[in-house]
Chain A
């Protein structure tokens, strides 16, 4: 793919995401991680080749059908893209309001989800008053509230300290265990290595795959993260 007339930022990409898989997407800054994710969450179209999402060829799918594909993909944006004039609660409720749910339908789900990401006490706070880690978790809550089939997270641990990074990673692994296909873009080599998860590596616009490495080296309490019934 390319931006306007600029040179291609991604080429010869051959990637197939198996449902239920978990991948890290690594590469230096500017390698094209965000661009690849954008292709997958249909915010950009490839300048060549084929892109099939949920068995729909994106280049030929009518524009009016794309929203229904996007609803099956949750995205944690690098810059969050939270709406500053809405409370944490209303930010998370947004995808549900878009699909036409009423307050009575989504209220308890949204509150439970915000509880799960540790924002149970910040329900009515506005994003500008939240810390980086809180915004990150709010953004994750919004991405998963519709129970998407795929979750894409762009540098979800980029703005937080190590303890918070682990906490966020746990949330994402937990989601994967519940069946969600997860792709996490990150340049935090240490975190990626410690997780032992399969890695997709971008360099010079090309993608290489590294299978799952050593067994997980997360802290002991990692597996005891509380289960939740809503997802």
Chain B
């Protein structure tokens, strides 16, 4: 982990961004945002609605190209990669969990979780065996043979977490993963997501406006009007 207390430069963070600017037409979404996350670290991204949290996440994941600024992942600059390389990176090294609607409705939950592995070239039986292990770990084994329309929202989010983690990504991007759930199910998703991420040493970029969800992180950053406030540990005023 980067040593933030001594002020000495640590090793380069796994994922970092500097001076990100992004406007949609005349609407500024990011206005000089920065970010870092180390391997195995869970960072919560908080801030008011419309402040730019999702845009920041999309830039970090290489889904959206910033107008200005740089994103570095594992020593490489995302903007220097071609589209094909960038999507390979997203497929192989990143995992995604959104608020809802991310599972393919025509596939069973087991097939959904196996999908990233199949896309990466794994054989069906192998992929489904690993997918089943992740469903069990997320406590949704029973959902395996069902389609996403036949399970509850809380179960669906746990299936989605299993799908995000099955490829053992180095970074998980989660945008309001508990946003559509009640407290009990939200807690369960966060408990399982954070435990699995810690075990596999995946970094997590966790966008949430809920403090109880952010409390599963190691630290938080706040986005306000497209700008990020640095880590606000005491005395930073």
Do the two chains belong together in a single complex?
no
Interface residues of A (CB under 8 A from B): none
